[in-house]
Chain A
Amino acid sequence: MSDALVSPAVGGALWAAAAGTCAVAARRVERHGDERLVPLMGVLGAFVFACQMVNFAIPGTGSSGHLGGGLLLSILLGPDAALLALTSVLLVQALFFADGGLLALGCNVVNLGLFTSYLAYPLVFRPIAGAAPSRRRLIAACLAAGVVGLQLGAFGVVLETWASGISSLPFRSFVMLMLPIHLAIGVVEGVATAAVVLVVRRARPELAACAAGGGPRSLRSLRPVVVGLALAAVFTGGVGSWFASSRPDGLEWATAHAAQGEVAAQGGLHDVLARAQRAVALLPDYDFRAAAASEESAAPPRPAWPAPRVGTSVSGLLGAALTLALVALAIGGLRLLRRKSRPTR
């Protein structure tokens, strides 16, 4: 999920949801977690960051990918700690590596963290894996949870994009594109996670309990999800409607596209595919060479767009240039002052 796709309203709502969920998770960790959790969470957060640097080739396709780590964190730390660890990774990435963007951070925390930790892990992984899973069970559980987690995340991206109304991607085509792609990605994530857990289990059998358990258990862990989603609903309802009324252009586009329903065209499909792939900030290194090639060769017919309000734009340009000139002057003055007052080396 990137900043370019999300509107301030949706971004803000998801931020609130993410913040609320993190607050709940933090309180639970503080109350129940033992002190070993703090250094463990920190180091594993750094680990997830580092292991996202390890790119591998995906069998069968020509593309490469890396381990997302959400499910792995949930298995090792338990859902609450895993959410916090993943949030810190996403925060650092958004702040300094511009991966995803600050506005979309809430969306990413929800899509990648919340869905995995509070839905995929307790509802899919734990029931299948049980207390002390055999190798087969572990693989099955990871596979299922990986697929479910990523499907939910992908669907989240689609919903958020659609609600934001910024991009012109039609809902149905986007869904039909995102879900199958993320099915494949989910399989890879599940298999990779299982493989890594098995390596750890063999090397450090005393952590085997971790692999199945991972912290205090309670299926009341769904509460953070409910809190988060409720907050999101309230926020979107309130803020979203305010924004909608002051920004008719977003809705204009959405309705115009729903009416047109044009992307049946061959070229349009490839176009959408390429756009969708680039929108998947979930896995920035996946490259679909086939899609890129066909995008170049096709000449898609472009749908007509509704005209945005024109009037104000032109007259702003000169003023903006003037503003920037004034700013540059002010900054230049500041730096001169600093240079004078700095102690000479």
Chain B
Amino acid sequence: MSHHIVSVQDLRFRYPDGALALDGVSFTLHHGESVGLVGANGAGKSTLLHHLAGVLLPQAGAVRVGDWPVTRSTLSQVRRSIGMVFQDADDQLFMPTIEEDVAFGPRNLGLPEPEVNERVADALARVGAAHLRKRASHRLSGGEKRAAAIAAVLAMGPSVLVMDEPSSNLDPAARRALIGQLRAFEHTRIVASHDLDLVLDVCERTIVLAEGKVVADGATRELLADDALLARARLERPLRLQGCPRCAAARVRA
């Protein structure tokens, strides 16, 4: 297995209604990296993530996941490596109970039932949701649903985690728990988020998208303090990097 877990080369994509979503995006994710993906609404973050998971196929350029190029014929292999957590947890929890949802992936992989059960228990434990096993999804809070969705993805044993706005609709406590989980994962992960403080906490590298193009790709702490860059991308500094109101000194946690 190559060390370049995910590589994207000159990716272009235009939606059926004519909107140009991605205009030549290129980058490479390395094994074990934790990368943030930031940008304004409509910059192309979700579209890019969908390409990584094979939900959309490139119209020009190429996406490689491990040894596989992402094409129609390699989709099943790609999906074993990539675990995507969608923005709306309700779209991802479609079985009557959490247990069935988390078991959905392993069952589709054709695993025997005892192993399916093991994976379900393991995945739920990793997100701290073991007590939700028998619950019905529509009765859960936003944070619980998010945790369950993550467990459902983890149960497939992916090597790369792709997350689209994971902290949206979470209350502060749930958000803090999520940050803890993300920091604990060893997977290669790419997290698209408006929550720049989360990105600062969780990702050492950040890619900035604007109008379908990569405008910056580097260390999170530097990028998110570059005011000119942020302004071009319609972003702001995360709260923690904004000046203290009293002494105007930037507060950066060690």
- In the complex, A touching B, CB below 8 Å? yes
The interface of chain A, by Cβ under 8 A from chain B, is: 39, 42, 206
**Closest CB in chain B relative to A40 CB, distance in Å:** 12
Would A39 and B94 count as touching, CB distance under 8 A?
Answer: yes
Contacts of B16 in A (CB 8 A): 206
3 closest cross-chain pairs (CB), A and B: A206-B16, A39-B94, A42-B94
Which residues of B73-100 have CB atoms within 8 Å of chain A's CB atoms?
94
Q: How far is the CA of A42 from the CA of B90 in the complex (A)?
A: 14
Q: How far is the CA of A206 from the CA of B16 in the complex (A)?
A: 9
**Closest CB in chain B relative to A122 CB, distance in Å:** 30
Q: How far is the CA of A42 from the CA of B94 in the complex (A)?
A: 10
> Dominant SS at the A interface?
helix
Contacts of B94 in A (CB 8 A): 39, 42
Q: How far is the CA of A39 from the CA of B95 in the complex (A)?
A: 11
**Closest CB in chain B relative to A339 CB, distance in Å:** 22
Which B residue sits closest to A38, measured CB to CB?
A: B94
A-B contact count (CB 8 A): 3
Q: How far is the CA of A122 from the CA of B8 in the complex (A)?
A: 48
**Closest CB in chain A relative to B86 CB, distance in Å:** 13
Write the B89-120 contact mask toward A (1 if CB under 8 angstroms, else 0): 00000100000000000000000000000000
Q: Would you give 3 A-B contacts (Cβ < 8 Å), ordered by A? A: A39-B94, A42-B94, A206-B16
Write the B138-181 contact mask toward A (1 if CB under 8 angstroms, else 0): 00000000000000000000000000000000000000000000
Q: How far is the CA of A191 from the CA of B94 in the complex (A)?
A: 33
Q: How far is the CA of A39 from the CA of B16 in the complex (A)?
A: 22
Q: How far is the CA of A233 from the CA of B137 in the complex (A)?
A: 43
**Closest CB in chain B relative to A43 CB, distance in Å:** 9
**Closest CB in chain B relative to A48 CB, distance in Å:** 18
**Closest CB in chain B relative to A146 CB, distance in Å:** 31
Q: How far is the CA of A104 from the CA of B16 in the complex (A)?
A: 46
**Closest CB in chain A relative to B79 CB, distance in Å:** 14
Contacts of A39 in B (CB 8 A): 94
Q: How far is the CA of A67 from the CA of B121 in the complex (A)?
A: 43
Q: How far is the CA of A42 from the CA of B16 in the complex (A)?
A: 25
Contacts of A42 in B (CB 8 A): 94
**Closest CB in chain B relative to A160 CB, distance in Å:** 33
**Closest CB in chain B relative to A52 CB, distance in Å:** 19
Which residues of B14-31 have CB atoms within 8 Å of chain A's CB atoms?
16
Which B residue sits closest to A206, measured CB to CB?
A: B16
**Closest CB in chain B relative to A119 CB, distance in Å:** 33
Contacts of A206 in B (CB 8 A): 16
**Closest CB in chain B relative to A205 CB, distance in Å:** 9
Q: How far is the CA of A42 from the CA of B91 in the complex (A)?
A: 12
Q: How far is the CA of A206 from the CA of B18 in the complex (A)?
A: 13
**Closest CB in chain A relative to B226 CB, distance in Å:** 40
**Closest CB in chain B relative to A209 CB, distance in Å:** 13
**Closest CB in chain A relative to B18 CB, distance in Å:** 12
Which residues of B109-137 have CB atoms within 8 Å of chain A's CB atoms?
none
Q: How far is the CA of A206 from the CA of B94 in the complex (A)?
A: 25
Q: How far is the CA of A79 from the CA of B99 in the complex (A)?
A: 33
Q: How far is the CA of A284 from the CA of B84 in the complex (A)?
A: 44
**Closest CB in chain A relative to B170 CB, distance in Å:** 25
Q: How far is the CA of A8 from the CA of B16 in the complex (A)?
A: 54
Q: How far is the CA of A42 from the CA of B95 in the complex (A)?
A: 11
Q: How far is the CA of A4 from the CA of B118 in the complex (A)?
A: 49
Which A residue sits closest to B16, measured CB to CB?
A: A206
**Closest CB in chain A relative to B104 CB, distance in Å:** 12
**Closest CB in chain B relative to A117 CB, distance in Å:** 25
Q: How far is the CA of A39 from the CA of B94 in the complex (A)?
A: 9
**Closest CB in chain A relative to B147 CB, distance in Å:** 23
